């Protein structure tokens, strides 16, 4: 594993290894597994609370120094390209880059151009592999296997990178994936059966809700909010029809009262805050695995240093 940009690239064996490794991540700043100081370039070009903060905590726990990058005060405002920004971080000694961008395939493209590992922290409507890994970890904690697990991914499928990464990875792991959403939000590129939520709650072990991706809709139509919960969201009535052992997931931020009844967010079957907790160790595992597999012991590992001869 050289980069972590798409769940399409990750095998069943690699996924299970990462889940196992996440469980073993008990480093805590000062017990770093790396021989030398590593630096992380966290390049967030889209808003983020959970993903950015859990990467920061994961890096700190691994003894990695996060380089302080703020898009709004960076040279991107002077027109510097994404490639030049990433190349700059590589040059000054970043050991890996964590990238979130509103354009699809940004991380995948950089992975072909940059010599240090790239971690995709969300590319447009494309993919969000570390969110997916923490989701998988949360499911595994609960059910101890994926084969035969019935998982419904519910909501704004078409615009959700979380839906895409989870659908690919769950398929790789042998789970049965069902999609549920209003017609306009179906995605023909995802070859999975669609099901009404009323039906899905009766047979699924996992109800994975998605945030309505308003910022990615061509037309902003806030009116949908008035009837969305009763038409397509997880109401208390629907939750009452769930299997006793079934869990509710949502990558957050949650639009309370839109995708889910506010009272269900912290109910007994909800794992929404557990997912956030699991985000730290799963991101530690991804960073650790990438650095290990590339033999990184310090930031400029890829440059064979030529000694300067003074005559």
Interface residues toward ligand NCD, by CB under 6 A: 50-51, 122, 128, 131, 161-162, 211, 213, 251-252
Nearer to ligand NCD, 27 or 55 (CB): 55
Long-range contacts of 227-231 (CB under 8 A, 24+ apart): 228/258, 228/259, 229/257, 229/258, 229/259, 229/260, 229/261, 231/182
- Least distance CB 49 / ligand NCD (angstroms): 8
Q: Characterize the bridge pairing of strands 150-154 and 206-209.
A: parallel
- Least distance CB 85 / ligand NCD (angstroms): 20
CA-based nearest residue to 134, from 258, 252, 290: 252
- Least distance CB 131 / ligand NCD (angstroms): 5
Residue sitting closest to ligand NCD (CB): 211
- Least distance CB 248 / ligand NCD (angstroms): 15
Element (H, E) at 118: strand 118-123
Nearer to ligand NCD, 51 or 109 (CB): 51
Nearer to ligand NCD, 38 or 154 (CB): 154
- Least distance CB 163 / ligand NCD (angstroms): 10
Nearer to ligand NCD, 161 or 281 (CB): 161
- Least distance CB 100 / ligand NCD (angstroms): 7
- Least distance CB 195 / ligand NCD (angstroms): 21
Strand partners, 260: 234, 256
Nearer to ligand NCD, 8 or 50 (CB): 50
Residue partners of 136: CB distance under 8 A and separation at least 6: 15, 19, 146, 166, 169, 170, 173
- Least distance CB 160 / ligand NCD (angstroms): 6
Nearer to ligand NCD, 90 or 156 (CB): 156
Buried b (16+ CB within 10 A) or exposed e, 174-191: ebbbbbbbeeebebeebe
Evaluate whether 131 touches 119 at the Cβ level (below 8 Å).
no
Between CA 33 and CA 289 the distance in angstroms is 11
Nearer to ligand NCD, 50 or 217 (CB): 50
DSSP SS3 for 116? coil
Between CA 87 and CA 38 the distance in angstroms is 17
Nearer to ligand NCD, 93 or 251 (CB): 251
Between CA 269 and CA 272 the distance in angstroms is 9
Beta strands in 163-267 (DSSP E): 176-180, 206-209, 247-249
Asked if omega into 253 is within 30° of 0 (cis), the reply is yes
Between CA 95 and CA 231 the distance in angstroms is 47
């Amino acid at each position: 594993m050289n980069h972590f940009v798409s769940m399409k690239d990750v095998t069943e064996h690699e996924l299970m290894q990462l889940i196992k490794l996440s469980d073993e991540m008990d480093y805590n700043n000062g017990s770093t597994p790396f021989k030398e100081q590593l630096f992380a370039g966290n390049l967030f070009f889209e808003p983020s609370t959970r993903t950015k903060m859990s990467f920061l905590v994961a890096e700190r726990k691994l003894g990695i120094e996060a380089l302080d990058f703020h898009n709004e005060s960076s040279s991107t405002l002077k027109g510097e390209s994404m490639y030049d920004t990433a190349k700059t971080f590589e040059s000054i000694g970043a050991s890996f880059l964590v990238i979130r961008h509103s354009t699809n395939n940004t991380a995948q493209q950089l992975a072909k151009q940059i010599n240090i590992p790239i971690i995709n922290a969300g590319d447009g409507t494309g993919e969000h592999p570390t969110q997916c890994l923490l989701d998988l970890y949360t499911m595994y904690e609960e059910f101890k296997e994926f084969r035969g697990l019935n998982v419904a991914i519910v909501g704004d499928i078409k615009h959700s990178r979380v839906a895409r990464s989870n659908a690919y990875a769950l398929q790789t792991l042998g789970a049965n994936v069902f999609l549920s959403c209003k017609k306009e939000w179906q995605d023909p590129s995802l070859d999975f059966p669609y099901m009404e939520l009323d039906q899905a709650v009766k047979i699924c072990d996992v109800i994975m809700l998605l945030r309505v991706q308003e910022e990615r809709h061509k037309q902003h139509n806030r009116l949908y909010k008035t009837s969305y919960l009763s038409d397509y969201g997880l109401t208390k009535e629907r939750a009452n029809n769930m299997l006793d052992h079934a869990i509710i997931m949502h990558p957050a931020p949650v639009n309370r009262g839109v995708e889910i009844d506010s009272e269900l967010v912290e109910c007994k079957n909800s794992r929404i805050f557990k997912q956030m907790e699991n985000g730290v160790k799963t991101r530690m595992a991804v960073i650790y695995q990438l650095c290990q597999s590339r033999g990184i012991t310090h930031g400029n590992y890829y440059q064979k240093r030529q000694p300067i001869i003074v005559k």
